[in-house]
Structure 1
Amino acid sequence: MFVLVELKDTVRILPSSFKCKLNDVIADELNKKLANKVYKDVGLCIALYDITKIEESYIFPGDGASHTKVTFRFIVFRPWMEEILIGKIRSCSPEGVHVTLGFFEDIIIPPHKLQHPSRFDQMEQAWVWIYKTADGETHDLFMDQGEEIRFRVVKEIFKETPLPTAPNASRDVDGKPEAKNKAPYVLHGSIDESGLGLLTWWQNT
């Protein structure tokens, strides 16, 4: 679920921070710039792990700040395909079940990836698994907001960002992330197999 990604960036340090340790200032600046940001084919940046290389600092004419090129590793949220995660139902809509992990909310389980057969209840605004027992009886199992749900990651969608996408290449993080009103990183989940879905469904089986 979490991986280490090597990145490169040029950190601008204001004169007011010259009195502080360079490593500490660089770490603070990188966390301010990257934490909770999403970049294409990288994932959701969580926190700085370590700084592996600091190059010489430069001061350009007309700018009293220093500019330092650094190479570093960042902790990134990016589940691998087929990984099983546990989250909570944030809401339901005709488009599917929307799931949150607490720190990441752009997860959807589309209708064709729910247990079969399922239907959307407009009145309750919830998806319902029509569960049929061995003796032929049916029970409506509602997927209510706040319920814990176990799902399999089956797809990821990245929006365009300025980062390069070459495999195994160090990435320069200069550039602006996607606009705040868009979801730059979306996960699709699946619960259409035994053991997946609401945790309460399987507690007594």
Structure 2
Amino acid sequence: MFVLVEMVDTVRIPPWNFQRQLNDAIAEELNKKLANKVVYNVGLCICLYDITKLEDSYIFPGDGASHTKVHFRYVVFHPFLDEILLGKIKYCSQEGVHVTMGFFDDILIPPESLQQPAKFDEAEQVWLWEYETDEGAHDLYMDQGEEIRFRVTDEVFVDTSPTGPTAAATDTPAQPGQSTAPPPEDSGEKKEAPYTLILLPHVKVEKRRTD
């Protein structure tokens, strides 16, 4: 679930931190930059483990800060495929069952991976499994807050780095009164998660409502 990843970065230390031990100042800056951030194709960064090498520090003209190339190891959340994990159901939607581990929420069990036959209750916004017994069918609900054990079947990384302005579709000059500025972004547009785990339930959900 957690792995140590070797990384290299150039760390900038502002002048007001020069009185501190260099290792302490660098550790603080690295955690500010990386902790709780997703590094593309690496995983969710948790905390600095250790610093393995410091190269020479430089001060560049026009910048009073020092710049040091640092080799270090960072604790990263990146479960391997088929690993079994434990979480809680955060909520359900048409997309599937959304699971949280407390420190990481972008975990999804898609509808096709749920125990079948399964259906989504629009009124209660919950997925349920229509469990067949000798006494007939029973609805077993996947309620919010319930613990669930799951197996990691896939992972999706999305590069969410800022991009430059898009080029105009054509070179046709704008007509009088027509704006050449790009249309404003839709504020309701759903943002993509930089790192998502795709899951398969590892054990059956057997919570039957009695009400």
Sort the TM-score into its range (normalised by shorter chain).
Answer: 0.7 to 0.9
Provide the secondary structure at the position in 2 that maps to 1:112: helix
Tell me which of the two structures has the higher relative contact order, counting C-alpha pairs closer than 8 angstroms and 6 or more residues apart: 1
Matched, 1:190 2:200: yes
CA contact (8 A) 1:151 1:197 kept: no
Provide the secondary structure at the position in 1 that maps to 2:36: coil
4+ aligned runs moved over 4 Å, structure 1: none
Partner deviation per Cα, 1:138-191 (whole Å, 9 max, x = no partner):
2100111111111111010001267xxxxxxxxxxxxxxxxx943100110012
Match of 1:54 in 2: 54
Match of 1:36 in 2: 36
C-alpha separation in 2, matches of 1:83 and 1:48: 24
Match of 1:101 in 2: 101
User: Structure 2, unaligned stretches of length 5 or more?
Assistant: 162-189
Alignment of 1:1-205 (within 5 A): 1-133=1-133, 135=134, 137-160=136-159, 181-191=191-201, 196-198=203-205
Partner deviation per Cα, 1:78-118 (whole Å, 9 max, x = no partner):
01000111111111011100000000000110000001111
Cα offset, 1:137, TM superposition: 2.1
Provide the secondary structure at the position in 1 that maps to 2:46: strand
Alpha-carbon distance change, 10 to 58 in structure 1, aligned in 2, over 3 angstroms: same
Supply the AA of the counterpart residue of 1:188: I
Please say which structure displays the higher CA radius of gyration: 2
Partner deviation per Cα, 1:9-60 (whole Å, 9 max, x = no partner):
0000011111100000000000000000001110000000000000010000
Aligned positions, number: 179
Supply the AA of the counterpart residue of 2:15: P
Match of 1:172 in 2: none
Provide the secondary structure at the position in 1 that maps to 2:16: helix
C-alpha separation in 1, matches of 2:97 and 2:128: 10
User: Structure 1, unaligned stretches of length 5 or more?
Assistant: 163-179
Provide the secondary structure at the position in 2 that maps to 1:27: helix
